[in-house]
Each structure stands twice: as C-alpha cells, then as structure tokens.
Amino acid sequence: MANLKERIDAVRKEFDEAARRAADAKSLEELRTAYLGRKRGHVTLLFEDLKSVPAEEKREAGRLVNELKQSVTVRLDAIEGQLSSVPPAVSAAGTDLTLPGRKRYVGRPHPLTLFEEEIERIFLGMGFSIEEGPEIETDYYNFEALNFPPHHPARDKWDTLFIKGDLLLRTHTSPVQVRVMERSKPPIRIICPGRVFRRETPDPTHLPMFMQVEGLVIDEGVTFAHLKGTLEYFLRALFGEKIKVRFRPSFFPFTEPSAEVDIECLVCSGKDPACRVCGGTGWKEILGSGMVDPQVLKNVNIDPEKYSGWAFGLGIDRTAMFAYGIPEMRYFYENDLRFLRQFGTK
Ligand SMILES: [Zn+2]
C-alpha cells in the first residue's frame, strides 16, 4: 500500500508538470492519452495495481486512485476550455490571426452587359440571330452603302472620328447590317449590338464611345405593321406590359418612311412639367426605325421589287440610364465598384 501511495504521488507530480507545458490542442491530446489512455495510461495502470493490494487496504487505495483520476480529468478539461476560448494572437507560422481578413468579391457582369443580354434575350425569343462586325470601318460600309453619298448633309449628324483616308471608327452598327445583307439571302432577321464612336464632348448624356443595338428584317411581304408590332412587343417586354408607346415621323437617309419611337416617361408619367428626363412632355425618345430604303437594298443586290424590310437602332447606354434611373452616362465607364455592385445581384 505504501508503495502504491508513493506511485500515486509521483504520477500526480509528473502530471502537474506536464500539464503546465500543454500549450495547444495537440499536446493536450497527447497528455490525455499518456495519463488516461485505456491500455497504457499512467492512471489506468494504477487501477491495475489495485488488484495486488491486500483486501483490507483496497478500499482506501481505490479512493486515492479514483481521486487522482478525477483531478487529472478536471485539469485536462480546464486546459481544453482555455485553449478553445482564447485563440493565440500569433500562430506557430508567425501569422497574426487577429488582423482583419481581406474580403474577396465575386465578379459579376457589367450593367451594360446585363442590359444588352436582356435585349438579346427578347429578340432571340422572336427568332432573331445576333451578328457582330468590325469597329474600324470604311466610309463605304458606314455611309455610302446606307445612302449617304459623299457631301450629303445628313453626314453632319454623325460626327465621325476618321482614322486615315477611307478608314473611320463606325458611328453606328449599321455597317454590320450591310455586311450581312451582302453575304446572305433573305429572309434576314438579325440584331447587331456593339460599340460605336462619335466625336462628342463628354457630358451627362453624351460620350465619344457608347453601345448600340440595331435590328434588321428583310423578307417578302414585310410591312410597317411588322415593324410596329415587333417594336411594341419588344418595348413591352423590356419596360412592362402597361408602358405607353408612340411612333413619330422622322428622317433617316437609309429608311423610308422613318419613325422615332417614344415611350411614356418612367420618371414623371407626364405629370411633372419641370421633369428633367422628358422636359415635361411625358414622352422619352427610345429608338429610331423605318422601312429599309429600296436604294439600300439595291446597293447590296437585293431586289426591292421582291423584298422589303425594316430596321431600328437604339442606344443601350441611354436606354439603360432611363430604365435604371441613372443620371450620368459616365458612371458606366468609371469602374467605380460602389456603382457597379448595385447591378446583377438578382
Ligand atoms: Zn418626365
């Protein structure tokens, strides 16, 4: 019995020292196994020794060993509690875990891309396909083929950035229409979205570079009724079933007759005479359209006696500004994440 008592004291002393050194979860676990392990734990082995203690001393010896086991367990649990409640400020690798983390943001599409995709989705649903073309064009594709002969006064409306000689930055995506008409036979049903360039001084509603989407339909028996029906359907799909739409006579060199299309002002619904968006008229111009001029069809070897067609063009930036209530076109190109993050979360 005296022998066993000494051994209990020795184990307790060793444990106390080892417990002081346990500084992390791993050493704590090793300590637990060393003392309470099922087969070779120091405390567990003391229970084995109880078998050889004389019967009259067994009770007292059992009490002492149990007491030791109890205090070892309590101490181990206390250390465990301490380790989990206070994370070390500096990890073993020297990393300061108390520093705030770096937040990583998941990218998302640009608002103009989202708006363009929405427009594309509506036209794809009506059987249109999407066409693209070069941003650097020749005078022929940008103007002449579209019925703007050299020195035609209508060219003044398209302030053009010329590069060299015959080359220019396209002022609209109409050259894509010409290229498609040249290489394919009717029926044609396309939209052409893309960047266009004009010599503009930047202000809240003008930029030297912006986005446009144009559409073209050529087939036998195509009339102004098709133009009207398709554009009305498109604008209702984009702005809601109840939106009011009106067509106004206009002029473009490449269409005859031509019409500009207005929708009711989303900001004031015509109720505010001082509205900055519609100027108090209650209407906002959204796009230009018209029946393709027979001369344009002749230029690309399509017989205007057999085929007719209609076209439209719309500024993606300006329409997106109107749809989202954005006061400055420049916001789209400043890459300010506070602005960009407001879009594309749906
Ligand atoms: Zn208004």
Confidence of residue 255 (pLDDT cuts 50, 70, 90): very high
Q: What is the pTM of this model?
A: 0.67
* H helix or E strand, kind and range, residue 125: helix 111-125
Q: What are phi and psi of 245, to 5 degrees?
A: -125, 140
Q: What is the pLDDT of residue 86?
A: 62
Measured in Å, residue 258 CA sits from the centre of ligand 1 at 25
For 282-298, the pLDDT digits (tens) are: 898 889 999 999 999 99
Residue 89 has a pLDDT of 66
Give span(s): CATH 3.30.930.10, the chain.
111-340
Distance 333 CA to ligand 1 centre (A): 25
pLDDT digits (tens, 9 = 90+) for 196-235: 999 888 887 788 999 999 999 999 999 999 999 999 999 9
Tens of pLDDT, residue by residue over 262-288, are 999 888 888 888 887 788 888 988 899
What is the whole-number distance in angstroms between the Cα of residue 247 and the centre of ligand 1?
18
The rounded Å distance from CA 95 to ligand 1 centre is 58
- Residue that wins the pLDDT comparison between 258 and 200: 258
Specify whether the CB–CB gap between 331 and 324 falls below 8 A.
Answer: no
The answer, yes or no, to whether residue 346 has pLDDT greater than 60, is no
pLDDT higher than 90, residue 106: no
Digit-coded pLDDT (tens) for 153-195: 767 666 888 888 889 999 999 999 999 999 999 999 999 999 9
Distance between Cα 262 and ligand 1 center (Å): 12
C-alpha 266 to ligand 1 mean position (Å): 7
Domain 111-340 falls under CATH 3.30.930.10? yes
